């Protein structure tokens, strides 16, 4: 399981996170080119992205089209063969106290949902 902290900087991810991805995504190591096209070599993992944003992007088509943070991470990890990507999101953090409190509550609900989901997964039952 990989947990990624990804704040939204100018509609994308921070340069520090990008630098990590540039080290991670390497032909022959985490993906390879085959006759049928690129193939991810890092499957079988769960990625949890803790996503924060000053504004709100998830509730409109226009907002979703503007953000290249969650959509980009989905593409990158998908390219590496990781299809189980889960998001914990706090957005609207810079829009005043009411929005901020609502965002934290939403993120806490996301976390609770993840924990419930994990408890019901077969691998959790095996571990128990
Ligand atoms: C350099 C910089 C660029 C940012 N760009 C965006 C942006 O494009 N959209 C947005 O919603 N928030 C943006 N933010 C706000 C951050 O996403 C926000 O600070 C972050 O979610 C963490 O919240 P906090 O500062 O209250 O801890 C930016 C912040 C910084 C410092």
Tell me if 78 sits within 8 A of 9, measured CB to CB. no
* Tally of CB atoms within 10 A around 107: 19
Q: How far apart are CA 121 and CA 15, in angstroms?
A: 35
CA-closest residue to ligand 1 atom 19 = 54
pTM: 0.91
Question: Which CATH number is 2-127 given?
Answer: 3.40.50.360
Q: Parallel, antiparallel, or unpaired: how do β-strands 31-34 and 37-40 relate?
A: antiparallel
Residues 6+ apart with CB under 8 A from 122: none
Sequential pLDDT tens for the chain (128 residues): 999 999 999 999 999 999 999 999 999 999 999 999 999 999 999 999 999 999 999 999 999 999 999 999 999 999 999 999 999 999 999 999 999 999 999 999 999 999 898 888 876 555 54
**If we measure between CA atoms, which residue out of 127, 107, 123 comes closest to residue 44?**
123
- Compute the distance from residue 84 Cα to the ligand 1 centre, in Å: 26
Q: Is 78 in the pocket of ligand 1 (CB under 6 A)?
A: no
């Amino acid at each position: 399981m990989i947990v990624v902290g990804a704040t939204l900087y100018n509609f994308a991810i921070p340069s520090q996170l990008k630098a990590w991805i540039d080290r991670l995504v390497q032909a022959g190591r985490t993906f390879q080119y085959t006759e049928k096209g690129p193939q991810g070599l890092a499957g079988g993992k769960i990625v949890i992205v803790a996503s924060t944003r000053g504004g709100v992007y998830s509730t409109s088509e226009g907002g979703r089209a503007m953000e290249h943070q969650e959509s980009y991470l989905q593409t990158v990890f998908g390219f590496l063969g990781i299809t189980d990507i889960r998001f914990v999101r706090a957005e609207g953090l810079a829009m005043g106290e009411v929005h901020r409190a609502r965002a934290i509550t939403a993120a806490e609900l996301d976390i609770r949902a993840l924990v419930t989901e994990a408890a019901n997964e077969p691998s959790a039952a095996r571990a128990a």
